[in-house]
Amino acid sequence: MLFQVEMTVEIPHGLAPDVVAQLKETERQRAQELQRSGQWRHLWRVAGRYANISIFDVESNEALHDILSTLPLFPFMRVSVTPLCRHPSSNRADDG
């Protein structure tokens, strides 16, 4: 199943800079691991915001929730999920 996921990160201002740096590095590593696995198919930054729009390819709603919950920055995210399905006029065989 394909899902469009918009994640907006809102790190509290009082969080120690070294903690923030470690969270960001761990987040980067986890995101790259999920991309290599094929579950996180696309990742785009939203210009001018600490946010991204992503496409996930996972087997269920629960699987997506479980994956998102493993992201180190998850406690500081606003997440919006839109389920997707293949459009009948699409000429891409790999889009869902």
Report pTM: 0.90
Would you say residue 86 lies in a domain?
no
DSSP track, 40-75 = EEEEEEPTTSSEEEEEEE-S-HHHHHHHHHTSTTGG
pLDDT for the residue numbered 79: 98
Per-residue pLDDT at 77 exceeds 80: yes
The CATH number of whichever domain residue 43 belongs to comes to: 3.30.70.1060
Q: Check the CA dihedral 58-59-61-63 and report its sign.
A: negative
Would you say residue 96 lies in a domain?
no
**Domains: count for the chain:** 1
Measured CA to CA, the distance from residue 31 to residue 69 in angstroms comes to: 12
Would you say residue 12 lies in a domain?
yes
Q: Which domain holds residue 19?
A: 2-79
Give percent of the chain above pLDDT 90: 88
